[in-house]
Structure 1
Amino acid sequence: MQFDTSGMCRYTRRRHYAAERTGYYMASSITIVGLGPGEWNDLTLQAYAVLVGAAAEGQAVYFRTLIHPTIERMKEEITGLRCESFDHYYDESQNWETLYQQIAEEVCTLAAAQPVIYAVPGHPLIGEASVQRVLSLARERGLSTSIVAGVSFLEPVCTALELDPLDTGTQLVDATTLAALNDDEVAGKIIPTLPLLVGQVYNRRLASAVKLALSEIYPDEWPVKLVRAAGVGADETVVTLPLYELDRGTNLANHLSTLYVPSIDALTALRLPETLRYITMRLRREPDGCPWDRKQTHQSLTRYVIEETYEVVEALGENDMEKLADELG
């Protein structure tokens, strides 16, 4: 494949030379390309080569979303690039659980007829739930796949927050996954005593669902940070606000938004079994624990266990759920 590089800047010539060296290799049914977090310079040479090759072959590239800072520059730099997107699913979908499944279904249906290039923000395998569904469905249907890596959203987000995710044990979850949880499932999926990053908080409706889910285990006033357009020059912003205001602003959440939820103190996380263990350890530890608790044994607690059991049975007999909840702690 040969390109006319006359009149191009050095950086653009490098990309075209990379495309020549790499070639346009389409052995896989589905090629999944990472576009990086948003800066044009973060697009890898390999990703650029695949996109240039697609334009040269007249093949459409299917973007999960066209709401990404690199798209306009990409259209300018790569002549003849045909862009298709799945943006309409975000407005049409009524169910967070099926949103990415719908995209995966369409990608795999297209790939059954001809090779498909599916482009996603960031790195395809980091915080990109749609890709996991594409890979799973492709395996079921016997479709081959290949991954073209990209810079993930984590690097610029962690830079903006001055956060080392490994040092702090940070959790990572997709906003649609979190929004799809039932109220009684949230505490089993999220550990509030560890920091949390929620990716792809792409609109106000999803921000509202995320807020309600997190309110099951965090105080409504808990301060959170919404990172928007991380790594995209002057567009990058970090907004600190209480959790209950997450969906109040109409322009806060978009396709480049990541929510950071700081960890809470162990005694604040009252709905976690881990908190009970922490309280027990604190009461019984030397030398500042509770003297009465430190003296107790299994045998000395027998009378209290029997007394509490009778109270639970009484609440059950009265069908008083509020009293039962109180007795069970």
Structure 2
Amino acid sequence: MVSIVGLGIDPSDLTEGAKQELLSGKKIIVRAERFAAAVRALGVSFETLDCVYESSRNFDSLHKNLAARVLGAAKERDVVYCVPGSVEEDISAQIVLKKSRGAAVFDSVSKSADAFRRAKIFSCNRAAYSAYDLEKYIRAVLPLCVYDIDCDLVAGDVKLKLCDMLGDETPCFFVKNGKVKKIKLYELDRQKEYDETTALVVDDTPLLKKKRFDFYDLCEVMRRLRAPGGCPWDRAQTHESIRKNMVEEAYELVDAIDSKDDGKIVEEAGDVLMQAVFHAQLGEDRGAFDCADVTSGVCEKLIFRHSHIFGGDNAKNADDALSVWERNKRAEKGQKTTGDSVADVPAGFPALLRAQKVGKRASKAGYDFKDIEEAAEKIGEELSELLQAVKEGDAAHISEETGDLLFSAVNVGRLAGADCEESLHESTKKFVARFLKTESLILQDGKEMQNLAPEELWAYYERAKEQIDADPSR
């Protein structure tokens, strides 16, 4: 049988129940000699696990080894395991509790509670983490206490993690041996001494005084903009009125990606994220859905479609992973036939992109040309039909045949393995560059493009093309 006693921060923190347990004659194990003052004051014999510290490779293995020693001793006789601070904040104690049914707990003042009290922060909603377990702190919940900052290296790791989340200049409280000092977060690893009593406390920061923000702050900003008394323009919007904004922001993000400018990517990705949050807030205002529904939906989708990661499927390479994704996607959407999949391609896609996706999905059912040569023959047929429509002068027929010709060209590109949307984008970019260079050469000669004969204009174009192609920086 195992009992676990939290020793608190000061010997006076030991509860009467804990004292009686320690005086019960059971074997007493203290996590380390430096934590044994309260036990020693009772005049009882005990052993410590300092040797486990010396033989453990890292903090994770330390706690596992500590727990193993306690559980091993408990097989021979009843054991009282004493840990500093609170049982709930000691990882080795938590391991013992999970593996020892019916273990009794005599808790005391936690390291975080003591640090919060000394920093005079008494909020009910607060977070506390061991410095050795801080990777679990993924959302900037404040107030925050980080305890177990027992050396400058650990302090440096904590600083890097929190500076990224909260900002370098965030005001903090440095707590050590009951004393409190105000510091900036970037100063955490510049203090003179650290020991097992060292903790960092960060108070809550009002929204408008924050230097770093997270997703939940974005949701709060949008909520305030849409709330009574908020921004008149934001309050007047609907899903439909800002529909085009999402398309524009998405294209601006693509441009930023193409420019390989990280600053622009950050900005434009933020704008896309803002549009998504805006629509989520509009949904919440209607009582239809909210940000939690949106994030829950996308997480469920990612987990379900990645069954080769989160389930029992296997994928040895990217192609296998894509096949698993597509199969799960069809199952998720209830698509029983290829037709269901073809019809599911969004009508709002750019026409070229939609044409290629429709053709690709149809080809999976065998509805395709036998090879690229057969597809290329279709271009000639459609071009002849377009020219005939032009002769007839029927605008509707011209539009129809133009669409057929473009669709045929997409099929050829698809069968050639090209991304038609990207290919046309690059060709358009190339045309713009050649046009601008042609115009520049004409203007240098004191001429105007619209006054040139076709042959002369073509000659300028060829010169521009040669100069651009010869430019190594192109």
Q: Following the alignment from structure 2 to structure 1, what is the Cα–Cα distance between the partners of residues 66 and 52?
A: 10
Q: Following the alignment from structure 2 to structure 1, what is the Cα–Cα distance between the partners of residues 151 and 75?
A: 32
Q: Contact (CA 8 Å) 1:208, 1:246: kept in 2 or not?
A: yes
5+ residue gaps, structure 2, are: 271-474
Identify, as 1 or 2, the structure richer in strand. 1
| Matching residue of 2:148 | 200
Q: 1:41 aligns with which of 12, 34, 45?
A: 12
Q: 1:99 to 1:316 in 2, by over 3 A?
A: farther
Q: Following the alignment from structure 2 to structure 1, what is the Cα–Cα distance between the partners of residues 41 and 203?
A: 40
Matches within 5 A, 1:246-285: 246-251=188-193, 253-267=194-208, 268=210, 270-285=212-227
Q: Contact (CA 8 Å) 2:116, 2:145: kept in 1 or not?
A: no
Aligned length: 269
5+ residue gaps, structure 1, are: 1-27, 230-235
| Matching residue of 1:145 | 103
2:195 corresponds to 1:237: no
| Matching residue of 2:96 | 134
Q: 1:247 to 1:270 in 2, by over 3 A?
A: closer
The residue type equivalent to 2:169 in the other structure is: E
| Matching residue of 1:190 | 140
Q: Contact (CA 8 Å) 2:127, 2:143: kept in 1 or not?
A: yes
Q: 1:117 aligns with which of 67, 80, 89?
A: 80
Q: 2:163 aligns with which of 190, 215, 218?
A: 215
- Determine helix, strand or coil for the equivalent of 1:225: strand
Q: Following the alignment from structure 1 to structure 2, what is the Cα–Cα distance between the partners of residues 94 and 220?
A: 31
Q: Following the alignment from structure 1 to structure 2, what is the Cα–Cα distance between the partners of residues 171 and 315?
A: 38
> 1:94 Cα deviation (Å)?
5.2
The residue type equivalent to 1:84 in the other structure is: T
**Structure ID, larger Rg:** 2
Q: 1:84 aligns with which of 44, 48, 72?
A: 48
Q: 1:151 to 1:313 in 2, by over 3 A?
A: closer
Q: 2:250 aligns with which of 309, 313, 320?
A: 309
Q: Following the alignment from structure 1 to structure 2, what is the Cα–Cα distance between the partners of residues 269 and 92?
A: 43
Q: 1:279 to 1:224 in 2, by over 3 A?
A: same
Q: Following the alignment from structure 1 to structure 2, what is the Cα–Cα distance between the partners of residues 285 and 129?
A: 43
| Matching residue of 1:67 | 34
2:21 corresponds to 1:50: yes
Tell me how large the CA RMSD over aligned residues is: 2.8
Q: 1:64 to 1:189 in 2, by over 3 A?
A: farther
The one-character-per-residue Cα deviations of 1:17-69 (angstroms, maximum 9, x if unpaired) are xxxxxxxxxxx1x221122221x333223322333344xx7x4x32223323x
Identify, as 1 or 2, the structure richer in helix. 2
Q: 2:4 aligns with which of 32, 51, 54?
A: 32
- Determine helix, strand or coil for the equivalent of 2:34: coil
- Determine helix, strand or coil for the equivalent of 1:226: strand
Q: Following the alignment from structure 1 to structure 2, what is the Cα–Cα distance between the partners of residues 269 and 129?
A: 33
- Determine helix, strand or coil for the equivalent of 1:67: helix
Q: Following the alignment from structure 1 to structure 2, what is the Cα–Cα distance between the partners of residues 146 and 237?
A: 33
Q: Contact (CA 8 Å) 2:149, 2:195: kept in 1 or not?
A: yes
- Determine helix, strand or coil for the equivalent of 1:131: helix
Higher relative contact order at CA 8 Å, sep ≥6: structure 1 or structure 2? 1
| Matching residue of 1:12 | none
